[in-house]
Structure formats: C-alpha cells, structure tokens
C-alpha cells in the first residue's frame, strides 16, 4: 500500500502529466493506475460515451489478477464491448444519473435496486468482482463523457474490502482528471474537423468528398501494408485514426496559396508552380511542435505527399521552418534534393498514391476527370518511379474496396 508521501507524489505527477502528455491513451492508463493504487484495487476500467450518446464503450481496462494469468509481457485483450446507457447496469445508471455508485458486494445488490450487476464479464473471464465503485466522468458543464469503475479494493492482506467514504472523494478526483483529458482530446478533434472543413472551402475542386476519399483510400492501403509488415494490431488501431485525419488535411497548406494560382483555370507556369509547391511545408509547419501521434502523422503527410519514390519529387530534404535545403542535400542546380524510397515516411508514400489516384479520377479547375482505364495505366506505370512499388501491389489487390470508397463519397454535381 502507498504511504501518504507516495500518494502526494502520485497526485502531483498526475497533475503535471495531464498538462504534458497529449496522448489520451497514455493518460487514461495513468489515471487508472493512480486511482487503483490509492485504494489498492485489483482492477479498473474506463468506459467512454459514444458519439451516438446512447452507449458506453469499454475502452481502457486493468486487472492484476487476470494479468498474472497471462505470460509475461502479454497484454490483456478484451473484445471491446458497448453497454446501453440506461439504469439497468451499474455503469449505465451512473452515466444516466450522474451519481456515484459505491457497492460493497455486487453479488448482493438488493433486488429492489434499479440497476443490477452484469455477471457476463465475470463469467467470460473467470474473474470474481465484489466491491465496485463507479463514478461519472463529468465536465465542468456537467456533460457526462463516460465512467470510471474501480473494482475490488483490498486490505494489506489482499482481502477484498468495501470502498470507504473517503475513497469516494478520491475517485471523484481521478474521474475529473480523466474528464478534463477526454474533453480536451474531443476538443482537439473538433478543431481538426473544422480545419478540414476550412481547407475544403478554400479550394473549389477539393471538396469534402475529395478529402474523404483520400482519407478512405489511405487507411485501406495502410491496413494492408501493416498486415504485410506484421504491425501489432494495437499499433494499427492507434495509427488508423491519425492517418485518416492527417490524410484529410494533406493539402491544408493550400490555405496559404493565393486564389490567382489556386483557382487558375489553365496550367500553372514555372514560377506559379514553385509557389504552389510551398503548400507542403507551409502545411507541415502547422504541426511542427509534434506531440501527439496525430501531430506527427499530419506533419509527415503534409510535408511528404509530393515526394516521389525515385527521388524526383518535392519539397525534398528541407528545413520546414525556413523552407531551405538542409546542409548536404543541395543538388547541382542549387535545389533541395528529393527524398527517395523509404526515406519518405510511410504515411507520405501512402497519401501520395491516394492523392494522385483521386486527382486523376476527378475534375479539377485545370483538368477534366480521366477514364478509369487511363488512371490505372498511369498508376501501374509509375510503380518504382513516382510510387512505392509495394503500395502499387496493394493498390491493385484492393481495387474493389477503393472503388467502393470512391462510390461512397461522390462529388456533388
Ligand atoms: P491536385 O490537383 O490535388 O493534384 C495532386 C497531384 O495529382 C499532382 O501533384 C500530380 O501529381 C497529380 N496530377 C494531377 N493532375 C494530373 C495530370 O493531369 N497528369 C498527371 N500525370 N498527374 C496529375 P502536383 O503536380 O505536384 O500538383 C500539386 C497541386 O498543384 C495540384 O493538386 C493542384 O492544386 C496544383 N496544380 C498543379 N498543376 C496545376 C495546373 O496546371 N493548374 C492549376 N490551376 N493548378 C495546378
Ligand atoms: C490525443 O490527444 O491523443 C487526441 C487528440 C489529438 O489527436 O491530438
Ligand atoms: C456494470 O454494470 O457497471 C458492470 C459492467 C457489467 O454489466 O458487466
Ligand atoms: Fe498537395
Ligand atoms: Fe490533393
């Protein structure tokens, strides 16, 4: 059990981390760890309210007893399940009423109580829940974003004991920490969605449908790539959302390009095209202080989506802050040297392909849409030149899925 000093240290660190760690997953795991260690609890979970508002999603969980039954280093994996928000389950009751629920023994809940304990989890996992405290994740505006549930408080001898009144106050504290973190992450998300909408409005031909398609193609290609490279499923799950939003923002730097160039009906001249090329690093600058997975993905994509596998793309090896070539990467013509092959981050290689596939298939101010035959011929021809040849293989093996994404997000007439 923790000493008072250790408890104080933990509380202080959690406060600092809330301000420093932008990765929501890491923070939520820390909240669970801290909450559990204060009451010496064996297990705990965080459920997050889904967008539809009617269900809770079992999102984070820790369980020492079940963990000990696993081989060292292996993670607890639960099929994520959802729970309707109504008064029948304990979590649903807490999410509905906003009231904390402190139950000494979940197998002895009075039959008159509106909620009951769902034995299903215990039955499937072979776990024995007993004392359970469930607290709402409430924002200052009283929105309920989810619930925190801590299970099986223990005394020094690991005997399971009920949660006390003072435990209730502590758990409310941890819940409010989790709520602040969640609210902030959800706010970041809504700011991103607004940015995406802005970059759509700016460019008449790059409609919402276009950014949705590029996001869709990119995640489909990435999933297949991740399988081939044996990426752990958790890493794939973590990256997929970041990549989708990053891909949707690939051209966000065009916001800084003048209308005269952006909306020019004909071909750009050399000077205009040089200006246009800046949309890569101008976009990347928005994510320069990369701290979350998303920031990093958005940076990589904005910067690298016009590099070519053969090294002849742009902007090449540059310093994003100045837009100038990095020392040692200046070509004989005095330009930055292009990044080549796997020097180009994978997300950049993927969005490069998704973007061109979509640009060729669509009408632009400066061009008509191409026939699919011509699009596919061009893409095939560019394997190993413009594009990563492995991604071209994946592209053709998943063509039916890509077509269905194309149909799902059609341009409005
Ligand atoms: P975008 O329209 O989204 O095009 C993305 C990429 O698709 C282009 O990158 C290019 O690799 C490919 N692409 C588009 N149209 C064609 C085409 O007709 N033939 C071939 N082979 N590839 C094509 P790129 O060339 O670096 O252009 C970047 C952005 O610059 C374009 O994004 C567009 O916004 C703008 N842009 C490029 N050329 C012109 C032009 O002639 N006129 C105007 N108004 N804008 C242009
Ligand atoms: C997070 O903090 O992990 C979510 C918000 C973001 O993607 O930056
Ligand atoms: C609860 O009811 O809060 C526990 C989840 C379950 O029903 O198993
Ligand atoms: Fe671009
Ligand atoms: Fe584009």
Distance 291 CA to ligand 2 centre (A): 9
Domain 4-185 top-level CATH class = alpha beta
DSSP string, 162-208: ---HHHHHHHHHHHHHHHHHHHHHHHHHHHHHHHHHHHHHHSTTS-H
Decide which of 399 and 80 is more confident.
Answer: 399
Q: Which atom of ligand 3 is nearest to the CA of 147?
A: 3
Pick the CATH number of 203-408 from 3.30.1490.190, 1.20.810.10, 1.10.3210.10, 1.20.1110.10: 1.10.3210.10
Give yes or no for residue 313 having a pLDDT over 60: yes
Which of 44, 60, 86, 118 is the pocket-test mutation for ligand 3 (most atoms within 8 Å of CB)? Answer: 118
User: Two tokens at 285?
Assistant: 């600058």
Place 371 in a pLDDT band, splitting at 50, 70 and 90: very high
pLDDT higher than 90, residue 338: yes
Gap from CA of 6 to ligand 2 centroid (Å)? 29
CB of 91 closer than 6 A to ligand 3?
yes
For residues 27-52, give the mean pLDDT.
91
Q: Which two tokens stand for residue 114?
A: 């509106």
**Could you read off the pLDDT of 163-178 as tens digits, one per residue?**
999 999 999 999 998 9
Separation of alpha carbons 322 and 336, rounded Å: 12
Cα dihedral across residues 307, 308, 313, 317: positive or negative:
positive
Could you give the CA distance from residue 284 to residue 296 in angstroms, rounded to a whole number?
Answer: 9
Confidence band, pLDDT 50/70/90 cuts, at residue 21: low
**Is residue 387 left, alpha or beta, with left meaning phi > 0 and alpha meaning psi from -120 to 50?**
beta
Residue bearing the bigger pLDDT, 233 or 230: 230
**In this predicted model, what pLDDT tens digit does every residue of 149-163 receive, in sequence order?**
999 999 999 999 999
pLDDT(366) > 60 = yes
Task: Tell whether the model's pLDDT for residue 411 goes beyond 90.
Answer: no
pLDDT at position 203 is 66
CA of 380 to the centre of ligand 1 (A): 18
User: Where, residue-wise, is CATH 1.10.3210.10 in the chain?
Assistant: 203-408
End-to-end alpha carbon distance in the chain: 66
Greater confidence, 238 or 393?
Answer: 393
Residues of the chain with CATH 3.30.450.40: 4-185
Any ligand 3 atom below 6 A from CB of 117: yes
pLDDT of residue 193: 75
The pLDDT-based confidence of 124 (bands split at 50, 70, 90) is: confident
pLDDT per residue as tens digits for the range 261-304: 988 999 999 999 999 999 999 999 988 876 778 889 999 999 99
pLDDT in tens, 58-104: 888 999 999 898 887 676 766 567 888 988 999 999 999 999 999 99
């Amino acid at each position: 059990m923790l000493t008072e000093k250790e408890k104080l240290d933990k509380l202080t660190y959690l406060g600092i981390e809330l301000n420093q760690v932008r990765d929501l997953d890491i923070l939520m795991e820390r909240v669970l760890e801290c909450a559990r260690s204060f009451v010496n609890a064996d297990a705990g979970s965080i459920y997050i309210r889904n967008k539809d508002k009617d269900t809770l999603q079992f999102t984070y969980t820790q369980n020492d007893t079940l963990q000990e039954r696993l081989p060292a280093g292996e993670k607890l994996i639960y099929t994520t399940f959802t729970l309707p928000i109504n008064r029948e389950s304990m979590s649903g009751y807490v999410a509905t009423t906003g009231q904390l629920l402190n139950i000494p023994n979940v197998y002895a809940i009075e039959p008159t109580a509106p909620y009951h304990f769902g034995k299903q989890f215990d039955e499937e996992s072979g776990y024995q829940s007993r004392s359970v405290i469930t607290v709402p994740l409430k924002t200052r505006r009283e929105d309920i974003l989810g619930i925190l549930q801590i299970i099986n408080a223990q005394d020094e001898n690991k005997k399971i004991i009920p949660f006390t009144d003072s435990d209730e106050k502590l758990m409310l504290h941890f819940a409010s920490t989790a709520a602040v973190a969640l609210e902030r992450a959800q706010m970041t998300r809504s700011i991103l969605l607004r940015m995406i909408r802005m970059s759509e409005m700016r460019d008449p031909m790059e409609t919402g449908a276009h950014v949705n398609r590029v996001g869709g193609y990119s995640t489909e290609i990435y999933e297949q790539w991740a399988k081939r490279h044996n990426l752990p499923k958790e890493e794939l799950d973590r990256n997929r959302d970041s990549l989708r939003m990053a891909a949707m923002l690939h051209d966000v730097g065009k916001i800084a390009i003048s209308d005269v160039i952006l909306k020019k009906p004909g071909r750009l001249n050399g000077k205009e095209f040089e200006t246009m090329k800046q949309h890569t690093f101008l976009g990347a600058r928005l994510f320069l202080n990369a701290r979350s997975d998303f920031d990093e993905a958005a940076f990589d994509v904005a910067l690298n989506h016009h590099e070519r596998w053969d090294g002849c793309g742009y902007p090449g090896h540059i310093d994003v802050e100045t837009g100038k070539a990095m020392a040692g990467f200046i070509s004989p013509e005095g330009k930055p040297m292009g990044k080549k092959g796997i020097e180009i981050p994978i997300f950049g290689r993927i969005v490069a392909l998704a973007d061109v596939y979509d640009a060729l298939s669509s009408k632009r101010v400066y061009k008509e849409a191409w026939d699919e035959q011509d699009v596919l011929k061009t893409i095939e021809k560019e394997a190993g030149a413009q594009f990563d040849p492995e991604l071209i293989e994946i592209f053709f093996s998943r063509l039916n899925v890509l077509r269905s994404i194309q149909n799902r997000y059609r341009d409005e007439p």
